[in-house]
Structure 1
Amino acid sequence: MGPAAGGEISDEMLQKLGSLSTQALVDGLWVMGWPSAQIDNSRPLTSGMKCCGRAVTLNFVPARPDIAQDKPPGGMSPEYEAFELCGPNEVLVMSSCGPDESVGGDIKFLRLKQREIGGLVTDGSVRDTDEIINYGFPCFSHSTTARQGPAAMQPWECNGVISVSGTVVRPGDAIVGDQDGVVVVPAKAAEKVFNIAHGREVIEDIIKEELIKNPGPPGKFYPFMSGKIKHDSPLAELLAKNGISPANSNQFEGTADW
């Protein structure tokens, strides 16, 4: 097998990625031609939740008697192995066997509170919702449920490559979640994604400010394609007034570095 992790992300880069919106990060990957990176079926349990951290992954498989017998018992189970790898800079990403299946609840996730985890993301559901909200860590899931998880699936592998709603997650990838959803930023591409996404957000702020001062159709400036802003366009003229030019930005035609 190939390596599970695809690279390393520094604490500094993690903080930078966490300062951006999920849509900006999706746009950065889109511009680079990478596959879709959002986890569509994972939503915040309550409003205002935001998470950013390195992925610790956990894969569930459908329940089967021999699987249950062969899984390491008690505290050695892959899920508890994953829990102990988590801290403030980690997000536990759990790949469920179905959107309505429970990946855990109150008692199990008390340990995540104790570990001061950076967040929990799953394409499955969680139970004991009120208690999880009270624990205070960001939690993103497909839904909530009263179902028993072990009746349907078993935790099988910690820190392998997993698929979450069809999106690949490798251990160490950056996981960023906000009110729009959750995005996976591959560790190997993190710096480039940030540079594109941050550049886009700066430009969008300038466009918005201009449209507030001088109301009109946004089509004059927006949308734009990173790396393809034409040098003689109205957008280029607007950016030049704000100190952004091909000399100091990779967003213009012929200046892309991706």
Structure 2
Amino acid sequence: MISSALRKVATTASRSSAVPSVARRTMAMGPASGGEISDELLAKLGSLSTQALVDGLWVMGWPSAQIDGARPLHSSHKCVGRAVTLNFVPARPDIAQDKPAGGESPEYEAFEKCGPNEVLVMSSVGPWESVGGDIKFLRLKQREIGGLVTDGSVRDTDEIINYGFPCFSYSTTARQGPAAMQPWECNGVVSVSGVTVRPGDAIVGDQDGVVVVPAKVAETVYSIAHGREVIEDLVKEELVKNPGPPGKFYPFMSGKIKVESPLGQLLASKGITPENSNQFEGSADW
């Protein structure tokens, strides 16, 4: 038999060995959020097109940020907000038993974190699996959510459209979700259509799709993207007045426009120069 002293030593050793393991696991994960985006910056990002934002990230050399598996449920749907994430995992009996039940479930935890300036981003286990429908999403209507984005499908399409919040999904379905997957984690880093989303990232959706703007570089992305949109408007205006092949001015690379080029000269005639724009060669601030 083990003496009480030895038993105490063994118990203490077991506890002390477990603590560093948990600490290491927590540290290895890193922070879930990449920073805080102000309401003002959020509104500015939402004023831009998704293609301008994609271009801004492309210029910086960041990975693709368009969620290809999320399309607007209705032609009127547009959204902008900070990401609240929810991760689904394939159904398994022990996971179903361990998941908090009822209102404590991770999905309802995520719902309650959402408001007009938040977009709920739901990572599905498959494009045709249902992440929810009428009864569940009534709560999202009540929360006046800024939008819902998923690479899965949604049920009760007519009801969701009537609820009025923007919804972007892979498709619609009559399937039941719980048979295939279960909500497991609220506000962790998730992969949606192969695009990484951190809680707090800016989510912008329009008729061309959904783009994720990392919080840590959101200000820079806005600066580049806004500058590009101004230039594209001027190029279009010039081509309308003087029809011809757009290759004289377009496409262009932000941060590499040469002052002496036809585009550089056109911009100078409109008051845009390296002194007040980061779009020219040698003036990039990223």
Does the alignment reach a TM-score above 0.5? yes
CA offsets, 1:54-99, max 9 Å, x none? Answer: 0000000000000111000000000000000000000000000000
CA positional deviation for 1:231: 1.1
Q: Would you say 1:190 and 2:218 are equivalent positions?
A: yes
Alignment partner of 1:166 is 2:194: yes
Give the 5 Å matches for 1:98-109.
98-109=126-137
* TM-score, normalisation: structure 1: 1.00
Please say if 1:248 is aligned against 2:271: no
Taking the TM superposition and a 5 Å limit, the aligned residue runs for 1:2-41 are 2-41=30-69
- Relative to total residues, which structure has the larger helix share, 1 or 2? 2
Secondary structure at the counterpart of residue 263 of structure 2: helix
Q: 1:182-230 CA distances to partner (integer Å, 9 max, x unpaired)? A: 0000000000000000000000000000000110000000000000001
Task: Supply the AA of the counterpart residue of 1:192.
Answer: T
Match of 2:84 in 1: 56
Equivalent-residue separation in structure 1 for 2:259 and 2:267 (angstroms): 10
Look at both structures and tell me which one has the larger radius of gyration over its CA atoms.
2
> How is 1:1-258 mapped onto 2 (pairs within 5 angstroms)?
1-258=29-286
CA RMSD of superposed structures (Å): 0.4
Q: Gapped runs of 5+ residues in structure 1?
A: none
Q: 2:41 is matched by which residue type in structure 1?
A: M
Letter in 2 for 1:179: Q
Q: Distance in 1 between matches of 2:140 and 2:194?
A: 25
Deviations 1:84-136 (A, max 9, x none): 00000000000000000000000000000000000000000000000000000
CA shift, 1:178, in A, is 0.1
Q: When the two structures are superposed, what TM-score results if normalisation uses the length of structure 2?
A: 0.90
Aligned residues: 258
What is the aligned partner in structure 1 of residue 26 from structure 2? none
- Secondary structure at 1:212's aligned position in 2? helix
Instruction: Could you tell me which runs of 5 or more consecutive residues in structure 2 were left unpaired when the two chains were aligned.
Output: 1-28
User: After TM superposition, where is structure 1 displaced by more than 4 Å over at least 4 residues in a row?
Assistant: none
2:70 & 2:194 partners in 1: Cα distance? 12
Q: Secondary structure at the match of 2:174?
A: coil
Q: CA deviation at 1:166?
A: 0.3
SS of the equivalent of 1:223 reads coil
